[in-house]
């Protein structure tokens, strides 16, 4: 069977699309962005699963609406131009169409709002936490404190040569797998935002206010995020690195961290000195 020119073009497009999808899947790495990635990052929590499904659902809806409107436009252009339709209809009302173009958009909005509210409640209704971590955004790094596990606090600064580029840090936030982690976040100087795409969380860290969010990582591994509120010249260089480990590994890490990061009362600004003496990404 011989293929038409259009058939060839369609086949070419399909192959290109499939190759693109396959390549993005091949590059995709859990917990971090991948080259040529054009989809959402792979999910590691129930919330992110929901976000991904909701995103796909909205994409289907907008695609159908766009194609429908495009179809109508083409029909008007082809069938009702001055040449093919010299005597235009004088119709001003059509009850059926008027009811339809009122009712159908309402139904579409209801179809969007129901999963939207479900997702909102899932995100905002924080379940009973197994662990609380306070993440403080500072110009330009994060400090994490573990009030439940021996009250230690430490700074997490980007390390320039560490992989993945611009995401590697000296001290990672460590959490146990399959445990509800409540994040309380605030800003020490200006507004920052704590965001980890694979967990589906993004929340402003505002000075003088304590915002809360939560995640329950279903997979172990490294998960990266970034400050997501423009906060100054090194905004792009204050990554968030979360290491999800087993319960036993977490307990062992806590023991080590307690000694390593023992809180030194009366020296709460020691971290600022640490930062000043560390070579920042801009070489300052
Ligand atoms: Cu920031």
Give per-residue pLDDT as tens, 30-73. 899 998 999 999 999 999 999 999 999 999 999 999 999 999 99
Structure token pair of residue 197: 């795409």
Q: Which helix (H) or strand (E) holds 284?
A: none
pLDDT of residue 262: 81
Task: Please tell me the distance between residue 68's alpha carbon and the centre of ligand 1 in angstroms.
Answer: 42
* Percentage of the residues of the chain whose pLDDT score is greater than 90: 77
Task: Please tell me the distance between residue 161's alpha carbon and the centre of ligand 1 in angstroms.
Answer: 20
Give per-residue pLDDT as tens, 243-258. 999 999 999 999 999 9
Task: Please tell me the distance between residue 246's alpha carbon and the centre of ligand 1 in angstroms.
Answer: 29
Q: Locate tokens 């704590």: which residue?
A: 194
The chain-wide mean pLDDT, for the chain, equals: 87
Task: Please tell me the distance between residue 207's alpha carbon and the centre of ligand 1 in angstroms.
Answer: 12
Closest CA to 179 of 255, 257, 258, 251: 251
Task: Please tell me the distance between residue 267's alpha carbon and the centre of ligand 1 in angstroms.
Answer: 23
Task: Please tell me the distance between residue 55's alpha carbon and the centre of ligand 1 in angstroms.
Answer: 26
Task: Please tell me the distance between residue 22's alpha carbon and the centre of ligand 1 in angstroms.
Answer: 34
Within the chain, strands assigned E span: 131-138, 141-146, 152-156, 173-176, 181-187, 192-196, 201-205, 211-215, 221-226, 239-245
Mean pLDDT of 124-137: 96
Give per-residue pLDDT as tens, 94-126. 999 999 999 999 999 999 999 999 999 999 999
Q: Is residue 177 a contact partner of residue 218, using CB atoms and an 8 Å limit? A: yes
Cis (ω within 30 of 0) for the bond into 77?
no
Give per-residue pLDDT as tens, 178-208. 999 999 999 999 999 999 999 999 999 999 9
Task: Please tell me the distance between residue 159's alpha carbon and the centre of ligand 1 in angstroms.
Answer: 16
Task: Please tell me the distance between residue 118's alpha carbon and the centre of ligand 1 in angstroms.
Answer: 30
Task: Please tell me the distance between residue 114's alpha carbon and the centre of ligand 1 in angstroms.
Answer: 33
pLDDT of residue 149: 84
Task: Please tell me the distance between residue 169's alpha carbon and the centre of ligand 1 in angstroms.
Answer: 15
pLDDT of residue 15: 55
Longest dimension (CA), the chain: 87
Global pTM reads 0.80
């Amino acid at each position: 069977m011989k293929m038409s020119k259009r058939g060839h073009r369609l086949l070419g497009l399909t192959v290109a699309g499939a190759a693109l999808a396959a390549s993005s899947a091949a590059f995709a790495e859990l917990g971090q962005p991948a080259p040529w990635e054009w989809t959402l990052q792979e999910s590691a929590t129930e919330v992110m699963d929901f976000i991904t499904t909701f995103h796909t659902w909205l994409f289907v809806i907008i695609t159908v609406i766009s194609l429908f409107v495009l179809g109508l436009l083409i029909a008007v252009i082809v069938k009702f131009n001055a040449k093919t339709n010299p005597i235009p209809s004088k119709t001003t009302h059509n009850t059926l169409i008027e009811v339809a173009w009122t009712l159908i958009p309402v139904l579409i909005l209801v179809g969007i709002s129901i999963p939207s509210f479900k997702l909102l409640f899932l995100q905002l209704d924080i379940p009973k936490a197994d662990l609380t971590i306070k993440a403080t955004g500072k110009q330009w790094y994060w400090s994490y404190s573990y009030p439940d596990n021996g009250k230690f606090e430490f700074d997490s600064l980007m390390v320039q040569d560490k992989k993945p580029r611009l995401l590697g840090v000296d001290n990672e936030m460590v959490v146990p797998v399959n445990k509800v982690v409540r994040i309380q976040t605030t800003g020490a100087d200006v507004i920052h935002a704590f965001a980890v795409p694979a967990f589906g969380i993004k929340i402003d860290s505002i000075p003088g206010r304590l915002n809360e969010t939560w995640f329950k990582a279903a997979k172990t591994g490294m998960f990266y995020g970034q400050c997501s509120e423009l906060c100054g010249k090194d905004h792009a260089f204050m990554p968030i690195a979360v290491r999800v480990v087993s319960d036993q590994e977490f307990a062992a890490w806590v023991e080590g961290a307690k000694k390593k990061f023992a809180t030194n009362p009366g020296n709460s600004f020691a971290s600022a000195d640490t930062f000043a003496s560390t070579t920042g990404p801009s070489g300052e």
